Chains A and B, each alone.
Chain A
Amino acid sequence: AAGVIQSPRHLIKEKRETATLKCYPIPRHDTVYWYQQGPGQDPQFLISFYEKMQSDKGSIPDRFSAQQFSDYHSELNMSSLELGDSALYFCASSPRDRGDHTQYFGPGTRLTVL
């Protein structure tokens, strides 16, 4: 079965650089969630989209922005990177319109800021 695809899987950036993380949800899933998991920490919700509209916002820094495109893939844009942004970034998708409450997580993108 198709799973959530995230790219790149690993990313190394310098401080103050920008990064773009991409998420391709499972086909026919209309909802995308982004989570951040710092080293030794628990996943923290960043932002979510339903049918290409932002549906909820968590503890996402103003330096970050995200959107969901017409083909339902989503991108998380991160600017002015800081050392503390080093983390695993997970995307999850869900078929909200079908009443399925499960969030299917991708393998994550490991961002390292030097």
Chain B
Amino acid sequence: DAKTTQPNSMESNEEEPVHLPCNHSTISGTDYIHWYRQLPSQGPEYVIHGLTSNVNNRMASLAIAEDRKSSTLILHRATLRDAAVYYCTLSNFGNEKLTFGTGTRLTIIP
């Protein structure tokens, strides 16, 4: 299974953009990149996913490198409610098991 690598932690000021990086150098051609976030003692929550092109939704944007070996989750305007552990995961064909890495703990500073 391809693995992902993320910084252990990041901090950001409230109402500023946040860029969360992820490396997945062994990604296969059929792996989709998924981002989930998790609050303490809660189940992971879907944020966004993509295959090759950049993606936008109401929660975030996903920028995927041209070689697909890395991606960046962009929160355009962080709020205190965005404080969570963010997981960059890969899923073969997009509908198979999620392989979670260590995640990035995002702290938002008021």
Contacts and interface: CB of A to CB of B under 8 A. Distances in A.
A45 B43 contact: no
B95 A43 contact: no
A62 interface: no
Contacts of B32: 101
19 contacts: A43-B44, A43-B98, A45-B98, A45-B99, A48-B96, A58-B97, A94-B95, A101-B32, A101-B49, A101-B91, A101-B94, A101-B95, A103-B36, A103-B44, A103-B46, A105-B36, A105-B43, A106-B43, A110-B41
Nearest to A91: B43
A31 B42 CA distance: 21
Interface of B: 32, 34, 36, 41-46, 49, 87, 91, 94-103
B38 to A, nearest CB: 8
Decide if the interface of chain B is mainly helix, strand, loop or mixed. Answer: loop
Contact of A48 (B36, B42, B97): B97
B96 A108 contact: no
Nearest to A100: B95
A48 B93 CA distance: 15
Nearest to A108: B43
A93 to B, nearest CB: 11
A52 B99 CA distance: 22
A90 B43 contact: yes
B87 A42 contact: yes
Between B32, B45, B46, B49, the greatest number of chain A beta carbons within 10 A of the residue's beta carbon is seen for B46
Contacts of B97: 33, 45, 48, 56, 58
Nearest to A95: B95
Interface string A99-114: 0011111111010000
A103 B98 contact: yes
Contacts of B42: 107-108
A92 interface: yes
Given A33-B97, A43-B98, A105 B41 contact: no
A90 B43 CA distance: 7
